[in-house]
Amino acid sequence: MQTGIFGPNLYSLEHGEETEKGLVADILAIPELRKSWIPDVGPRLFHSKSAVGCYDKHMKPYPMEESLAWTRSLMTFPDIPRPLKAPPRSGMIPRGRVNLRSMAETFDVPDTPFWNAAAEQIYGYIWCMEDDNLICKDCVRGTSSVGVLATFPDYYHFCQELYPVLELSAKRTVEFINHVHRCHPNGEEDHKVMDAWLATVQAIYLDVLHPKADSLKCPADELQSIRYRLVNSSVRALTLQARLERGPLIGDDVIVDAVSIAMITMHDACDYRHDNQANEFYNIMTIVSAHRGVPGTNMIRRFCIDVWAWAVDNGADWAIHLAERLLAWQLYMARYRTPILFDHLVPADANNQPKEDPYGDPILNSMNPLPPSSQPYDFDLRNRCGNKERYDELLRDSLAHFETCSGCHQYDKVSWESRVPFIGRAYEKKYSDCTCLNAISTYMILACMEPVWWAMDYAAEYTGPMEEWSPMLC
């Protein structure tokens, strides 16, 4: 089968019109591919000279190899407790109107509830993560457009209203590829960002071809599944792009992996209970738990604390901002109802805390930027930092911002539900200045991560509203 996204000419300037048509044809082929699905349908889509992976070589094997893994013997998920109770998942409903302006710069869309929701949840998934006052605005518009293209398979089950912009999203994707080649000809990192985004489209496309699962099965290679999760969630691409906000660049590909894992944890922790109800495998908590045979809460928490301590000690503020921009986005999206989840979580009592070894996953340990802590069950971020003065300075600066900024005043003193309007005002300010969003993000990392860990903990009880919802909304 000849395709655009899996083909050899995706990055060729001479084949732009052909590539546009191929991308549209790929999306339109999804219904028939799903009807005729067999386990090896994904691997057969790849051209032997597929362009994707030629710049971000570190991740090149994973879309193909993980797709092949589903054709082989699969593990059954171990018999371990998983939390299920959570507020219901919704479809495309908007929180407000502030994000539409960003999408309207690239797509001519009307001011309606659906397109406001699309601007928040689809285009905004990228725009809300990246500070385009510090990096190339055209690249952020381009990657946001690739995100729109990726949504056709990602939200295939419930987002048919998006189809009026299918052809334009393919066109904007090709324009982005051309922009990178022409305006960043010597930009190795810019080309890696572009490549990582197209790998994300590949992975999401492969995912939608699988039927929804009625039980959890798992591929056998944990590292491969973790890195694939970094691709299909786009956090690898987002991390590579956000790293350009501050120079010089800090860290190699393994550090980028580590920062990406800490970032996706902010998303997957909030989604974990919904994913459990829908038997979704691609959640970082599910992947780690499947391969360790015990709940992975402590291992993931330990890993994230160590990554953020490394970031504080090394001045890699972008790694902190990025993780919590994703949590802020998760809180702001009306369809996820994360503030309701956080406000109604009751932690396990002191005698029922997770006891699994925080360094019990050798795969995570191999990517941890710090040596093991002598106090592995001490999850206090300040205690883990070598430079405690810098931790104190970052927290002090955030609290001072909340005292003096009219849009953020007393963010630290209100409930999670009450914080949503603060995030909306930070997005409004972000068009010219990301200071408010960064202050909110830094504060959440340093001072209020507990609900994230509770959301993953089967012993933490959710006491809020519940009702039936469709797993197709995952």
Q: Rounded to an integer, what distance in angstroms lies between the CA atom of residue 4 and that of residue 9?
A: 8
Q: 3-state SS string over the chain? A: CCCCCCCCCCCCHHHHHHHHHHHHHHHHCHHHHHHCCCCCCCHHHCCCCCCCCCCCHHHCCHHHHHHHHCCCCCEECCCCCCCCCCCCCCCCCCCCCCCHHHHHCCCCCCCCHHHHHHHHHHHHHHHCCCCCCCCCHHHHHHHHHHHHHHHHHHCCCCCHHHHHHHHHHHHHHHHHHHHHHHHCCCCHHHHHHHHHHHHHHHHHHHHHHCCCCCCCEECCCHHHHHHHHHHHCCHHHHHHHHHHHCCCCCCCHHHHHHHHHHHHHHHHHHHHHHHHHCCCCCCHHHHHHHHHCCCCHHHHHHHHHHHHHHHHHHCCHHHHHHHHHHHHHHHHCCCCCHHHHHHCEECCCHHHCCCCCCCCCHHHHHHCCCCCCCCCCCCCHHHHCCCHHHHHHHHHHHHHHHHHCCCCCCHHHCCHHHHHHHHHHHHHHHCCCCHHHHHHHHHHHHHCCHHHHHHHCCCCEECCCCCCCCHHHC
Q: Rounded to an integer, what distance in angstroms lies between the CA atom of residue 236 and that of residue 228?
A: 9
Q: Rounded to an integer, what distance in angstroms lies between the CA atom of residue 215 and that of residue 292?
A: 18
Q: Rounded to an integer, what distance in angstroms lies between the CA atom of residue 388 and that of residue 366?
A: 25
pLDDT for the residue 247 = 76
Arithmetic mean of pLDDT, 11-21: 93
Q: What is the mean pLDDT of the chain?
A: 96
pLDDT for the residue 454 = 97
Residue 150 burial (CB < 10 Å; 0-12/13-18/19+)? Answer: buried
**pLDDT digits over 54-72, tens only?**
999 999 999 999 999 999 9
Contact 264, 284 (CB under 8 A): yes
**Residue 449 to residues 34, 342, 387, Cα–Cα distance (Å):** 39, 10, 20
Local confidence band at 2 (pLDDT 50, 70, 90 cut-offs):
low
Which residues fall within 8 angstroms of residue 364, CB to CB, at 6 or more apart?
261, 288, 299, 300, 303
pLDDT for the residue 1 = 55
Local confidence band at 35 (pLDDT 50, 70, 90 cut-offs):
very high
Contact 91, 335 (CB under 8 A): yes
**pLDDT digits over 115-169, tens only?**
999 999 999 999 999 999 999 999 999 999 999 999 999 999 999 999 999 999 9
Arithmetic mean of pLDDT, 74-81: 94
pLDDT for the residue 251 = 80
**pLDDT digits over 420-433, tens only?**
999 999 999 999 99
Contact 384, 305 (CB under 8 A): yes
pLDDT for the residue 177 = 98
Local confidence band at 350 (pLDDT 50, 70, 90 cut-offs):
confident
Both tokens of 68, joined, read 């092949």
pLDDT for the residue 214 = 82
pTM recorded for the entire structure: 0.97
Please measure the distance between the N-terminal and C-terminal CA atoms of the chain and give it in whole angstroms.
Answer: 29
Local confidence band at 259 (pLDDT 50, 70, 90 cut-offs):
very high
Residue the block writes with tokens 């504060």: 443
Residue type for position 136: C
**pLDDT digits over 313-348, tens only?**
999 999 999 999 999 999 999 999 999 999 999 998
Q: Rounded to an integer, what distance in angstroms lies between the CA atom of residue 263 and that of residue 46?
A: 29
**pLDDT digits over 300-311, tens only?**
999 999 999 999
Q: Which residues pair with 218 in a beta bridge?
A: 75
Q: Which residues pair with 217 in a beta bridge?
A: 76
Does 42 have pLDDT greater than 80? Answer: yes
Q: Rounded to an integer, what distance in angstroms lies between the CA atom of residue 176 and that of residue 137?
A: 11
**pLDDT digits over 395-423, tens only?**
999 999 999 999 999 999 999 999 999 99
Single out the residue of 383, 455, 332, 397 nearest to residue 85, CA to CA.
Answer: 455
